[in-house]
Structure 1
Amino acid sequence: MIVKKISLVVTALFSFSMFAQESAEFSREIKQDIKLSYLDSIKSTFKKEPLAAKVDSLWMNELVSLDIYDDLTKDIQTINKDVTVDEELPTELLKQRLAAMNEKSPFEIEYNQGLENIIKSFLKNRKKSFSRLMALSEYYFPIFEDAFAKQNVPLEIKYLAVVESALNPKAVSKMGATGLWQFMYGTGKQYALKIDSYIDERSDPLKATAACSEYMTKMFNIFGDWELVLASYNSGPGNVTKAIRRSGGKTKYWDIRNYLPRETQGYVPAFLATMYLFEYHKEHGINPERAVVKNFETDTIAIKNQMSFKQIADLLDMPQSQIQLLNPSYKMNIVPFYQGEQHFIRLPKDKIATFVSNEDQIYAYVKHDTEFRSTSSRLAVKYAPKAKPAAKPAAIDNSDYEFYKVRKGDNLGAIASKYNVSITELKKWNNLKTNSVAVGRSIKIKSEEPASVKTNAVIDKREEAIAAADDKEKSKTVDQDYVVAAGDNLGSIAKKFGTTIAELKELNNLTSNNIGLGKTLIISKASPIIEEPASITSAIASNSVDSFKKKASSKNIGEDYYVKKGDSLYSISKKYPGVTISDIKKWNGIKDEDIKPGMKLKING
């Protein structure tokens, strides 16, 4: 009996050992089948820092939103200081508070009916806006105060940025004034702010504030009165000196106000009303929204080679919009590299730590990614057959173009990025000589080459490969949605579906790497993955890795497509070979290019 038990135990142990060995071998086989992209293989070597900074996505939206700027600008330009506003604020109490503010300020803050009307108008119509502005001020005011203190400029002038730009570094006026302090092009150049195709330092909070501080100091040396300095900032020193002459030589703002331009007459009172609301917001029930990240929680690092915001976002697992938020002076979402000059990128401190600890790998990936894109473009040209010279230039067919109406805040770089084309192409299609483009203008974006002039052999070969793959039923499908299971994380899900963590976060609006069990993640639209023709694959093999296999979508009959954030009719048409923008408009009864996330489109219906 004992011998039987011992033999059973030995047999069980041996069987368990064999099972464990087979499981280990099976596990190794699975791991070998999961091929890491070059990006993920680089990131897998990164040294991780324990510090974690979370950026509230709602607060980020506030920083790049232009709605407060539009509302406040309209208010200041149209507000009538002579119209009485019905709002609960006793005049005597207001006089006491203004007197208390005057005691601790170099500004001449005195009560008048016009100022009371503007304060009451802001309280009645703009309470919510000021709550949001106070959240933004937690990020920007420390920058302003530091710059003003160095030049002995009154710290209260920080409130002027609220009046000028609603604390939005991307704000652009109808006249072209740009940035937090609304510098015109000429004024920006006068104060040594760099403005070129890649950079506009009028949108740089640090450099633009330093320039503003220098301007204020010079104007005070001329006028000797801070209210007149503010008036000159709005209408120019020439208009202020004219008003002084017309008033008979008076040198106080309140004495010459009626001789100033109409907008400037309400400009200084709007500044003082803003100062009052920031000082007494609690008394009026204005509860400031809190900013999650402060300026002192960020830092800068010098960039040694040109890199795009997308490359940085992919490498550091952060939303591209956050990089745009912290670096508003880069116009094309690219940090350029000029010989003999240094350019910096501002990032949260934990991302700075990751960048500094892994610089070699980061620059290696950027070089690889840039060379790969460049090589792919050159190959496309190389494989294209020579086009026969035409006797006469063909007339432009607008059916081959999509039209985009330029909105406030747009630039050629942003439009080119949205439609995945180059700035050079945009300028060529629209006969533009410079990078500036007027608000309201319709920009042509080429949707696709006409069938009669298709010359790209790579596309032809890819279509052949798709047809061959359809015949042999070699295509595989990728699920659009995925439900998070126990043990999952963004890294394992990204590897499973051949994507990156950054793309998953962008698709699902995630601000951190945390995902809940049972959450449904958007992966991508179900589509076949087709192997590239051997001739093309071998041509670019030396410049790519397994992760860079191309994906193409076959033209599915009667397929429904759900519009995602960032989609356009142009980008959707590119997902379906042979489908044009005109087709999608016809099938769905669309008259213009406006589509919204979540909208269902019929493809070849």
Structure 2
Amino acid sequence: MIIRKISLAVSVLFSMSLVAQEVAHNDVTVKPEIKISYLDSVKSTFVKDNLATRVDSLWMNELTSLDIYEDLTKDIQTINTDLSVNEELPTDLLKQRLQDMNEKSPFDIEYNQGLENIIKSFLKNRRKSFSRLMALSEYYFPIFEDAFARQNVPLEIKYLAVVESALNPKAVSRMGATGLWQFMYGTGKRYDLKIDSYIDERSDPIKATAAATVYMNKMFTIFGDWELVLASYNSGPGNVTKAIRRSGGKTKYWDIRNHLPRETQGYVPAFLATMYLFEYHKEHGINPERAVVKNFETDTVRIKEKMTFKQIADLLDMPQSQLELLNPSYKLKVVPFYKDEQHFLRLPKDKIATFVSNEDKIYAYVQHDSGFRRMPTQLASRLAPKNKVIKTNQVQDFAQSTEFYKVRKGDNLGAIADKYNVSVVDIKKWNNLKSNNIALGKTLKIRSTDTIKKSTDVKVIPVADKKETQEAIAAADEKVNTATESKEYIVQAGDNLGSIAKKFDLTVAELKEWNNLNSNNIGLGKTLIVGKAAEIVNDQTTSVASNTVDSFKKKPISKNVGEEYFVKKGDSLYSISKKYPGVTISDIKKWNNIKDGDIKPGMKLKING
């Protein structure tokens, strides 16, 4: 009995050791091969610049937001200059400081109750706004000062851009005035500022400042007084001359002020109050926030092909918002290419070095990427013809890979969707989100879907290699496009459906229908579909594939090529062989020791060794 128990125990232990060995053997995992994208393969070959730095996207979004512009505009229009504001600033001290400013300025700066009230109102309500404006001024003021110094315009006029636009080149007034210097459309055209579908040079800091300089000088030759020049800039020279007549011929701003339009009455005092706060910000405890980028740290490069801000941002590892800040005149976030015209892109100097050192690779990627844009699934389903059957005899299998993204400070669903080229609706669906609000630090699932098309009902085609037959059909399938790229827009501060519809020449009803909106309320950062795309349908796939393979067989063979080819996303051995007359798939396999036909983006192939 004891012997039986011992033998049973030994057998159990032996069995357990075998199971443990088997489990240990099965636990040895083989790491899957990571397939890199064509973008990553291109960037991996870039000449690196060790000085490259990243910019905080939240801070950049704050600088490009319109809240300061809207707040200051409202203040200037509504502040009651006759109502005193309770803010700690002794009147005698203010008078002394204004006198000191007057002595070193061509402006006639004198104390009055209205000016004191505006200064105290800004101190009470706009301290944080001025802190941010002072950071922005480190970038814009050198541009203004350079232009003004060349034309003998007082440098203090740089503060006028704060009053006009809160140093936001994308600011647009309710009357349509645009840019840092708030030019109307007609005025911009009169001063040779280019305005078309892609470009609005009223938002270009350098060109718009040059136009403003010309205007200032012209008005000074008429009025001979810089305060009147500022008044004419706001309300037009006609209103200033009317005020002069109504005042009995007086020619000082403070003497004709009550005869000017109400907005202009607060305009020059707001300019002087801004000048005061910039001059005495330390005394009032206003600390400028850190400057994201300074003017002398940027440079320009000429663009030789049309490219989008997203393509540039992806290639150079920089936020799109920074590109928008540095290049505000490109309305659609696209640098166009016109024949016989030059367009320039402004970048931080370290990014300029990367761009110039890798131009050929950058333009190659842009051409490749432009050919792979697809319409969002949601829009494609709306535009697909309901009664038309597409005869392709194909089944689509979707290979999905899931990525995880941790929400960072300043992120919103629109920006994340743009980063991964998916829709906000998809992200909300994948993560069971009921609203557009996302918590800092939350991990989101992002699924990227690649469509793999396979033939299921294709007649026998007389080609020797079955693999070549499948590749030929796949190449023909690539010609069957259900739709081209749609146009999308991310809702920004101050937007509403009416303004967005007007911007894209649509009706509010169309916007609501395309985006499944039940009301006129839209959330900040929401991605809206704002343009339909044309549909291209090819229902002769099988015959196209047959003709393509037949033509492939008939090609003359020429082996004297001697080139190298970098595999792009979507390439197959068949599509590559078609690029070189006389070269077959078997040739490429032989020259590159390829056995199974598997190629990856970024892979270098020898053509005839």
TM-score calculated relative to the size of structure 1: 0.64
Q: Answer with 523-532 or 167-176: which moved more.
A: 523-532
The higher radius of gyration belongs to 2
Give CA deviations for 1:495-533 in whole Å, capped at 9, x if unaligned. Answer: xxxx999649x999xxxxxxxxxx989574357765223
- Tell me whether 1:479 sits opposite 2:402 in the alignment: yes
Distance 1:95 1:56 in 2: 41
Map 1:453-602 onto structure 2 (within 5 A): 453=386, 455=388, 457=390, 464-466=395-397, 478-481=401-404, 503=420, 524-526=445-447, 531-534=452-455, 538=472, 541=475, 594=522
Map 1:38-49 onto structure 2 (within 5 A): 38-49=38-49
Distance 1:113 1:596 in 2: 40
| Counterpart position of 2:220 | 220
Distance 2:245 2:418 in 1: 65
- Tell me whether 1:94 sits opposite 2:94 in the alignment: yes
Q: Answer with 225-234 or 342-351: which moved more.
A: 342-351
Distance 1:34 1:452, change over 3 A: closer
Give CA deviations for 1:299-326 in whole Å, capped at 9, x if unaligned. Answer: 1100011111111112112222221121
State the 1:237 CA deviation.
0.5
What SS does the aligned partner of 1:453 have? coil
What SS does the aligned partner of 1:82 have? coil
Distance 1:328 1:261 in 2: 31
For the Cα contact (< 8 Å) 2:393–2:455, is it kept in 1? no
Give CA deviations for 1:281-311 in whole Å, capped at 9, x if unaligned. Answer: 1111111111132111111100011111111
State the 1:228 CA deviation.
0.3
Unmatched 5+ residue regions in structure 1? 1-25, 378-419, 422-444, 467-474, 484-498, 509-518, 545-549, 551-563, 567-580, 599-605
| Counterpart position of 1:159 | 159
| Counterpart position of 1:141 | 141
Which amino acid in structure 2 is aligned with residue 262 of structure 1? Answer: R
Distance 2:231 2:205 in 1: 22
What SS does the aligned partner of 2:302 have? strand
What SS does the aligned partner of 1:465 have? strand
| Counterpart position of 2:329 | 329
Distance 1:280 1:241 in 2: 34
- Tell me whether 1:370 sits opposite 2:370 in the alignment: yes
For the Cα contact (< 8 Å) 1:148–1:155, is it kept in 2? yes
For the Cα contact (< 8 Å) 2:76–2:263, is it kept in 1? yes
Distance 1:200 1:482 in 2: 35
Distance 1:214 1:596 in 2: 38
Distance 1:257 1:456, change over 3 A: farther
Map 1:265-414 onto structure 2 (within 5 A): 265-373=265-373
Distance 1:461 1:85 in 2: 77
Distance 2:295 2:338 in 1: 27
Distance 2:521 2:300 in 1: 39
Which amino acid in structure 2 is aligned with residue 83 of structure 1? Answer: L
Q: Which has the higher helix share?
A: 1
Distance 1:99 1:524, change over 3 A: same
Count matched residues: 435
Distance 1:42 1:500 in 2: 22
Distance 2:361 2:51 in 1: 21
Distance 1:446 1:52, change over 3 A: closer
What SS does the aligned partner of 2:305 have? coil
What SS does the aligned partner of 2:347 have? strand
State the 1:43 CA deviation.
1.6
| Counterpart position of 1:449 | 382
Give CA deviations for 1:464-508 in whole Å, capped at 9, x if unaligned. Answer: 435xxxxxxxx665334379xxxxxxxxxxxxxxx999649x999
Give CA deviations for 1:150-198 in whole Å, capped at 9, x if unaligned. Answer: 1111110010011000110000000000000000001100110000010
Distance 2:330 2:449 in 1: 37
State the 1:125 CA deviation.
1.3
| Counterpart position of 1:124 | 124
For the Cα contact (< 8 Å) 1:479–1:523, is it kept in 2? no
Unmatched 5+ residue regions in structure 2? 1-27, 407-415, 428-439, 457-469, 484-489, 493-511, 527-609
Which amino acid in structure 1 is aligned with residue 75 of structure 2? Answer: D
For the Cα contact (< 8 Å) 2:151–2:213, is it kept in 1? yes
Distance 1:174 1:116 in 2: 28
Distance 2:253 2:513 in 1: 60
Which amino acid in structure 2 is aligned with residue 328 of structure 1? Answer: P
For the Cα contact (< 8 Å) 1:318–1:502, is it kept in 2? no
TM-score calculated relative to the size of structure 2: 0.64
Q: Answer with 100-109 or 61-70: which moved more.
A: 61-70
Distance 1:124 1:136, change over 3 A: same
Distance 2:159 2:360 in 1: 43
Q: Answer with 120-129 or 198-207: which moved more.
A: 120-129
Distance 2:525 2:88 in 1: 43
Which amino acid in structure 1 is aligned with residue 169 of structure 2? Answer: P
Which amino acid in structure 1 is aligned with residue 52 of structure 2? Answer: A
| Counterpart position of 1:247 | 247
| Counterpart position of 2:169 | 169
Distance 1:276 1:219 in 2: 24
For the Cα contact (< 8 Å) 1:54–1:292, is it kept in 2? no
State the 1:59 CA deviation.
2.8
For the Cα contact (< 8 Å) 2:47–2:357, is it kept in 1? yes
State the 1:366 CA deviation.
1.4
Q: Report the RMSD for the aligned CA atoms in angstroms.
A: 3.9
For the Cα contact (< 8 Å) 1:482–1:520, is it kept in 2? no
| Counterpart position of 2:433 | none
Distance 1:597 1:254, change over 3 A: closer
For the Cα contact (< 8 Å) 1:281–1:287, is it kept in 2? yes
Which amino acid in structure 2 is aligned with residue 222 of structure 1? Answer: I
What SS does the aligned partner of 2:248 have? coil
What SS does the aligned partner of 2:117 have? helix
What SS does the aligned partner of 2:396 have? helix
Distance 2:255 2:524 in 1: 53
State the 1:596 CA deviation.
7.9
State the 1:594 CA deviation.
4.4
Identity of aligned residues (%): 69
Distance 1:92 1:323, change over 3 A: same
For the Cα contact (< 8 Å) 2:405–2:446, is it kept in 1? no
For the Cα contact (< 8 Å) 2:301–2:345, is it kept in 1? yes
Distance 1:87 1:339, change over 3 A: same
For the Cα contact (< 8 Å) 2:309–2:334, is it kept in 1? yes
For the Cα contact (< 8 Å) 1:372–1:543, is it kept in 2? no
Distance 2:284 2:346 in 1: 36
Which amino acid in structure 2 is aligned with residue 525 of structure 1? Answer: I
Distance 1:183 1:333 in 2: 21
State the 1:370 CA deviation.
2.4
